[in-house]
Structure 1
Amino acid sequence: MFGHTALLLFHPCVWDTAEQMGKTHKMRSSAGLMELTDKFTFNPKEGIDNPVMVTTEDTVWTLSPRLCVLKQEEGGSYGFNLRVESGLQGHIIRNVVSGGVAGRSGLRDGDRLLEVNNCYVDHVSHPEVARKITVSGQQLCLLVLDGEQYEQALSRGHDLRSLSIAHKGEGCKPPRLCHITRDPASGLGITFTPVKGEKGRFSVNLFPRGAAEQAGVCKGDQLVWMNGASVADLTHSTLSRMMRKCGEHITILVIDSESQKNYMRQRMPILPSMAVSHNLPNRPRKLHLVSGGDGYGFVLRLEKKRTGPTLHVLRQIESGSAAERAGMQDGEVLLEVNGEPVETLTHGEIVDRVRLSRHQVSLTTITFKGMDFYTQLGLSPLLFSEDGVVREKESSVSAAAAEQPAQKEVDGSCKPRHCTLQKGPSGFGFHLGCFPQGPGTFVSQVAFGGSGQSAGLLEGDVVMQVNGQNVEEKYLEDVIKLVEEGGKLLFLLVREVMGDNKCKQTETHVGDTEFVSQQEEDNYEISNL
């Protein structure tokens, strides 16, 4: 759960010289690394290109990646460090605590990390890998390879990504996290049937073109998780009661049946941190601020909900400032500074990181409502911050330009855009989403290389017209119907979500959520940035 990530999960990147490494650490050989055989028997099902096996004359060399499932204890850490070391490649596991969570899972000192929660990370930067682990929550799946095997694989030019794919099985698809909004006429559009003879397993039944299908649920899916609760120990009657009490929205984790069998065969849990998200509301936003040298134009302060945690909140956005140009809204909660989660940082440490960024800084933010949404699901909102990026129009603004009044830019952001799309083999190349309350639709996904991207559609664009007809007060189903009736050509009038927010003057106020300033209670510092 966001708010309970271990502070001592791992240390920052540590660079050691080869000489120091030679003195302090020796790589341990793993049993079975090299097996000498008199004869190699060809397996026609696997073939000689089996990525977990390399043959040289009479030598069979087998790579043995291991899946380690870590369950974090309340208030504790996973019990290992993740490091980058001079002279060695890959993300290295170090200082595995004997008897700790990592040790009990089978993690070993010197292991190299291949996957985090089913995501291949060997090519990913160290800070991003650390971030993936940090936001995972209480459960974590790591695919690792013994250090000596890893070095041997690199020296022989072995494809580690292929090894990773072979371990999980071809065609194994990730789960999907789907947010369903009740349709006034047809409801949620989904029911569940217990799998005969298997407790805690439920198949999905869909109403054609219903709310669930529109939210990304597919025929034949298996239910894994509902509103933050695993269904593995639930009866059908308990699940039905949960459905009746869910109100206007429900968030579920589903997976296709074949992939579920694959996960079960590997004894791998199916986690929301592995999922592809569909239609999730209240996503975090990434803001890129460029200052002209006179600050970013906002105030950072600590605020505490009367019954909740202390949060770092962005306030008093100055007109024409870098913060306003980036789309910052008063009352947003700060989640990250330059990709580093702020959950465990003090107010002063956050201020230092912003100021050390000099004239550019990237912030990840979310509304109070969004923070509550993900907290109730027991998930970190940072798991879903890839979409909805809001950037300043010109990230390379010069100091002189940044000092000019920004009123024209703000006004221009409200101007709508015409987009003409031609239907291709895979459709128009975008998905629509709906607002949690009331009518209105927006572009939730844009397919790479599709017609939507070519036409200039952006994720988060609010749809104003479809083929000349105003749809601002229409619901998702009506808008989709208009799109389909248009044939192979589609004419959209859209505006960016940043412009939409500013035109409608939507803000989150202190009084709306019963927040009190931490300074009033504990004399905390409030910083102008």
Structure 2
Amino acid sequence: MEFPRFTFNPKEGIDNPALVISDDPEPDPNPVPRLCQIKRKEGQSLGFRLRVEKSRPGLTVHQVDPWSPAELSGLEQGDRVLEVNEDIVENMEFSRVVEKMQGCGPQLFLLVLKGEEYMEALSKGMDIQALTRAYRGGTCSRPRLCHITRDPALGLGVSILPIDGQKGRYTLSTVPEGPAERAGVRNGDILVWINGSMVSTLTYSAINKMVKRSSVHITILVIDSESEASYIRRKLPILPILAGSHNLPHRPRTLDLVQGSDGYGFLLRQERLQSGRIAHLLREVDVGSPAEEAGMQDGDMLLAVNGQPSEPMKHEQIVRTVRKSGKSVRLTTISVHGREFYTQLNLSPLSFHEDNLPEEEGNLKTLSSCPGIQYGQSTDTPSSLPCPRLCVLEREESGFGFNLGCVQHEPGTFIGQVVVQGSGHRAGLWEGDVVVEVNGQNVENKYFEEVVTLIKNSESFVKLLVVERSGYERLKQNGMSITPGVILHSTQDSEKPEDAFL
């Protein structure tokens, strides 16, 4: 059977109902942030300069060194930084942002937007944080680094179960209100990392042996399945440095020292640890010296001087930095047990340090006074102190949109995980906030179960008075009672930019 030959006539075109020619879809008008994963070697700088100035809103990447880790990651001059290791930095103090970047260890994850796209978004009245949430996905929450202490009766309060047909993947089943749940683990979470090891490389038998060897406590990294899907979509590895972690023991401390007539009263020594690493240790703390009064103990390891990490510095450099500070210096330290804890987990202690650096001269953003704080005798001025926040949450079908955490067998609670776009998020709760009051009742000395009961008994609304953890510690050190207040920000007229080379 012969078929008629087809001859194309350009004037008539093609009459074929099976052929559908459609227009290209309209491009998304909203700018899309991009992720820069910066990897550096030990002692190597990140290779860029971060700046904030009055004439340019946002945190600006001012200079990127050629062939540096920053340039190799795709970071460009003029980029605006939106997130640092999954932390939104739009309303974060510049000094704190710098500290987070400097203490990141070998990897740093920056979510950025091109400068021109950032300015265009602002001119159109776009919500910059909404762009980051859209990029992440509305149901995505950060992974959680949870330190679980074994209970004599309940054990760890969690079971690890292999996922059928998926090698190297495990889910968790928790005991209601047991040690694991109090540490931030939720039933059905995916186990990612345990005691310094990624579980994808471990057999079920090896994980069970690891848990049995951990007679007192374990530290695990977990994430819910929906958030895991978001991380996979964004090709973002799930690592401890990206996690919300507020129940880890042995946190780094910030010591503010004022020089006395005989100096600071301690010796700095460079010593080799059992692991083979060279560390700067604080020794021979004099009785009654400024160092002892600030809480320094013999054998503490020095982590940073005035916010600058000391690990890559030589002994002489640290001494010069301290001397250049004049009559006062701020040291970030960690105890002997603390450094052993983080070494065993292969984590950088500075990654989990929450204290703010001191404000530098010429800063553009300063805290104004908080009318809700009762001031006593203190070296801190009202303008430099943190302010509590009164957050009013409306109950939804799924609850108030946050998890509560605590330190095992100790009074006091904090905000564990805040559900993105949930009631707690909209009310202004932050991960790590210390809970001071529930519905006007002080709960600083109440245990986890009592605080949970108070919140559960709230009907349609609950009022929480909270303070950032580092701010809470500073207020307590200054002997101040905490009552409802408001965080306010002001902008100085100075044109001098805040600037940091990273």
- Report the TM-score when normalising by structure 2: 0.65
Q: Deviations over 1:220-279 (max 9, x none)?
A: 211111111112233333322332333322100011222122222222212211212143
Residues 68, 105 of structure 1: 8 Å contact kept: yes
CA distance in structure 1 between the partners assigned to 2:261 and 2:133 by the alignment: 48
Matching residue of 1:304: 272
**Is residue 113 from structure 1 mapped to residue 95 from structure 2 by the alignment?**
no
Query: Displacement of 1:177 after TM fit?
Result: 0.6
2:270 is paired with a residue whose SS is strand
After superposition, the CA RMSD in angstroms is 4.0
Count how many residue pairs are aligned between Structure 1 and Structure 2: 381
Superposition pairs for residues 327-346 of structure 1, below 5 Å? 327-346=295-314
Residues 279, 444 of structure 1: 8 Å contact kept: no
* 230 and 361 in structure 1: CA distance in 2 versus 1, 3 angstrom threshold: same
Aligned with 2:354 (options 381, 386, 389): 386
**Is residue 450 from structure 1 mapped to residue 450 from structure 2 by the alignment?**
no
CA distance in structure 2 between the partners assigned to 1:481 and 1:127 by the alignment: 36
Superposition pairs for residues 314-333 of structure 1, below 5 Å? 314-333=282-301
CA distance in structure 2 between the partners assigned to 1:482 and 1:85 by the alignment: 44
**Is residue 92 from structure 1 mapped to residue 61 from structure 2 by the alignment?**
yes
* 85 and 140 in structure 1: CA distance in 2 versus 1, 3 angstrom threshold: closer
Report the AA paired with residue 216 of structure 2. Answer: E
**Is residue 224 from structure 1 mapped to residue 192 from structure 2 by the alignment?**
yes
Query: Displacement of 1:452 after TM fit?
Result: 10
Instruction: Identify unmatched segments of 5+ residues in structure 2.
Output: 1-22, 358-375, 382-394, 415-432, 458-471, 475-502
Matching residue of 1:143: 111
Q: Which runs of 4+ in 1 moved over 6 A?
A: 38-41, 479-488
Query: Displacement of 1:315 after TM fit?
Result: 2.4
Report the AA paired with residue 60 of structure 2. Answer: H
Matching residue of 1:433: 407
Instruction: Identify unmatched segments of 5+ residues in structure 1.
Output: 1-37, 42-51, 54-60, 399-424, 435-439, 458-462, 467-478, 489-495, 499-529
**Is residue 245 from structure 1 mapped to residue 213 from structure 2 by the alignment?**
yes
**Is residue 176 from structure 1 mapped to residue 144 from structure 2 by the alignment?**
yes
CA distance in structure 2 between the partners assigned to 1:184 and 1:124 by the alignment: 41
CA distance in structure 1 between the partners assigned to 2:65 and 2:166 by the alignment: 37
* 172 and 497 in structure 1: CA distance in 2 versus 1, 3 angstrom threshold: closer
Q: Which has the higher contact order (CA 8 A, sep 6+)?
A: 2
Matching residue of 1:401: none
* 305 and 319 in structure 1: CA distance in 2 versus 1, 3 angstrom threshold: same
Aligned with 2:379 (options 384, 387, 396): 396
Query: Displacement of 1:344 after TM fit?
Result: 1.3
Residues 113, 142 of structure 1: 8 Å contact kept: yes
CA distance in structure 2 between the partners assigned to 1:223 and 1:231 by the alignment: 7
Report the AA paired with residue 396 of structure 1. Answer: T
Residues 283, 370 of structure 1: 8 Å contact kept: yes
- Report the TM-score when normalising by structure 1: 0.62
CA distance in structure 1 between the partners assigned to 2:123 and 2:79 by the alignment: 17
* 92 and 122 in structure 1: CA distance in 2 versus 1, 3 angstrom threshold: farther
Report the AA paired with residue 84 of structure 1. Answer: R
CA distance in structure 1 between the partners assigned to 2:157 and 2:91 by the alignment: 41
* 328 and 456 in structure 1: CA distance in 2 versus 1, 3 angstrom threshold: farther
**Is residue 376 from structure 1 mapped to residue 350 from structure 2 by the alignment?**
no
Query: Displacement of 1:370 after TM fit?
Result: 0.7
CA distance in structure 1 between the partners assigned to 2:62 and 2:71 by the alignment: 11
Residues 302, 311 of structure 1: 8 Å contact kept: yes
Matching residue of 2:477: none
Matching residue of 1:67: 35
Residues 176, 275 of structure 1: 8 Å contact kept: yes
CA distance in structure 2 between the partners assigned to 1:452 and 1:355 by the alignment: 49
Matching residue of 2:325: 357
Query: Displacement of 1:204 after TM fit?
Result: 0.6
Superposition pairs for residues 129-278 of structure 1, below 5 Å? 129-278=97-246
Report the AA paired with residue 328 of structure 2. Answer: Q
CA distance in structure 2 between the partners assigned to 1:174 and 1:96 by the alignment: 31
CA distance in structure 2 between the partners assigned to 1:381 and 1:117 by the alignment: 15
Residues 60, 78 of structure 2: 8 Å contact kept: no
